[in-house]
Structure 1
């Protein structure tokens, strides 16, 4: 009977011992085993064998990515502006032995490191850079925390700055400064636009003037060519016609008289100085063209000879003509 009881007790103890030798670790977790208070091994997810009464599981930690959030804390920028900054850090255990024995409290130590690095990096930057350069600040904070936690058995994945609270007085000043900058840019843009417009107008005016000058030059060339052709035709007609010279003298005399008539019609005072020797020649040409007999008599005279006696005009006495002085303007 006693042997039977002993066998039952032994079987129960053996079964309990064997049962306690198998430890199951869930996926996404790691466990640290100590034997007599000393590190023995790290258990991975699945079934693991330990020695009951000798080994004990001292720590079970998640091996998944974890998030540490930091509440807003006061920070001072390099330009002496007080701001409240929050943040978040994403980390993961990669060596449970180091996380257990190299640091007292991983979670608390990470929070202190994150807070210190945020204050340090914010203190190195001006407020304008903090608002627009958060990516660079995140990278600097990540580098600093990785340096602090290099021997802690964890991996810092990324760091993100959270809400940045700026005092209302500073916000008002920033709004005024931004408004002034926008107004300055608008004035610069307007000035550049006016400058561009003036340049375009000047270029258009220069181009128009150039085209006008080219058109006038072309017209002058055409007029010159037309005049040259007209003169050439007149010269040919005069050379071929027997009374060509008298016709030229007649035309010149007619233009001469028309010029005198146009000057006489003007209301302003004027003094006309005429060559007395040219007047008989002009009258002679007019008479010659109007009277065939006179024309025949003139034709018999050699070119440049003195006119016949019946065409002579008595000389004009200009001794009494006093020089006229035009009034000063």
Structure 2
């Protein structure tokens, strides 16, 4: 009987030692803080590492993680500035920066942060039109973070960011927005088509205009070239004629030149009269035909008068 009592005493003593060791030695993990109370009053905050406590006097009242925490803000109904009800849910990112304030500044900072995020979101959405809720998500998130960070400062919590996860619209509003978007796309398509047709017409008219200009320029150059050709031809003919007349005059002044000219004139006279007889059935014969010599002499006399004097 005495042995059983001793055994029980030893077992109780061993258990007390184990409990004492457990109560005395504490290992705080990395990125964690333990808030210690001594006899019910705040004593100190333990950082990561090995620590010794006074058994049955010191106790770990709160355990806080210094890592970034993610809080799912459940869906809520908000009314926009233009009186449209939308369902919005989001994600909140917070971090404990002061374990003492997080322990004694508020009972549950996670729940408080989620509730404050919902109320702040309702307030911000109430000042925003429906169209801008989609266009200005970043601005809305910044406003929610600023309001939450100011309110959570006494809690020892830092609000890092807030993101809108989803915006749910009523079915009627969805249909109206789809019709509006469809009409807008059709309007843009019509504008693009008309712009294309207008540009095509401008291109065609510009092409026709350039074609007319090119044709007129070509016709102008052709007329100029033809005129220059005719002028050159006339000039060459005049030069040749003048040279021929000059040579004839020189030949006339040579010995026997007058007789040669008279003979040449007589030959041409007879030749042309013969051609006239071939082409006409009826022929009028001049009275001077019998005096061919006189006619030739008269023509020769005209050439002598017309030739330049030495």
Which residue of 2 is the match for residue 318 of structure 1?
none
Contact 1:87 1:162 in 2 (8 A): yes
1:151 paired with 2:154, answer yes
CA distance, structure 2, for counterparts of residue 236 and residue 138 of structure 1: 99
Name stretches of at least 5 consecutive residues in structure 1 with no aligned partner: 243-286, 303-329
Q: Which of 230, 248, 258 is the equivalent residue of 2:233?
A: 230
In structure 2, do the counterparts of structure 1 residues 297 and 192 end up closer, same or farther at CA, with 3 Å as the change threshold? farther
Which residue of 2 is the match for residue 254 of structure 1?
none
Which residue of 2 is the match for residue 160 of structure 1?
163
Deviations 1:266-296 (A, max 9, x none): xxxxxxxxxxxxxxxxxxxxx9993395787
Alignment RMSD: 3.3
Where 1:79 maps in the other structure, the secondary structure is coil
Deviations 1:55-85 (A, max 9, x none): 2221122332222112211001122211000
1:104 paired with 2:86, answer no
Q: Which of 23, 29, 47 is the equivalent residue of 2:26?
A: 23
CA distance, structure 2, for counterparts of residue 209 and residue 15 of structure 1: 110
1:291 paired with 2:294, answer no
- Alpha-carbon distance, 1:173 to partner: 0.8
Deviations 1:199-258 (A, max 9, x none): 22232222222221221111111101110112113323443456xxxxxxxxxxxxxxxx
- Alpha-carbon distance, 1:17 to partner: 4.1
Which residue of 1 is the match for residue 96 of structure 2?
93
CA distance, structure 1, for counterparts of residue 93 and residue 41 of structure 2: 30
Contact 1:138 1:161 in 2 (8 A): yes
| TM-score, scaled to structure 2 | 0.72
Deviations 1:66-117 (A, max 9, x none): 2211221100112221100011111121211001111232122111111012
Within a 5 Å distance, the mapping from 1:129-208 to structure 2 comes to: 129-208=132-211
CA distance, structure 2, for counterparts of residue 57 and residue 236 of structure 1: 131
Where 2:160 maps in the other structure, the secondary structure is strand
Query: Which deviates further from its counterpart, 139-148 or 25-34?
Result: 25-34
In structure 2, do the counterparts of structure 1 residues 25 and 290 end up closer, same or farther at CA, with 3 Å as the change threshold? same
CA distance, structure 2, for counterparts of residue 226 and residue 65 of structure 1: 96
CA distance, structure 1, for counterparts of residue 208 and residue 21 of structure 2: 105
CA distance, structure 1, for counterparts of residue 296 and residue 156 of structure 2: 136
CA distance, structure 2, for counterparts of residue 295 and residue 89 of structure 1: 132
Runs of 4+ in structure 1 deviating by more than 6 angstroms, as ranges, are 11-15
Contact 2:76 2:89 in 1 (8 A): yes
Name stretches of at least 5 consecutive residues in structure 2 with no aligned partner: 1-5, 246-268, 275-291, 304-310
- Alpha-carbon distance, 1:191 to partner: 2.1
In terms of fraction of residues, the more helix-rich structure is 2
Which residue of 1 is the match for residue 52 of structure 2?
49
Contact 1:84 1:165 in 2 (8 A): yes
- Alpha-carbon distance, 1:297 to partner: 5.0
Query: Which deviates further from its counterpart, 49-58 or 72-81?
Result: 49-58
Which residue of 1 is the match for residue 259 of structure 2?
none
| TM-score, scaled to structure 1 | 0.68
CA distance, structure 1, for counterparts of residue 227 and residue 38 of structure 2: 122
Within a 5 Å distance, the mapping from 1:245-264 to structure 2 comes to: none
Which residue of 2 is the match for residue 250 of structure 1?
none
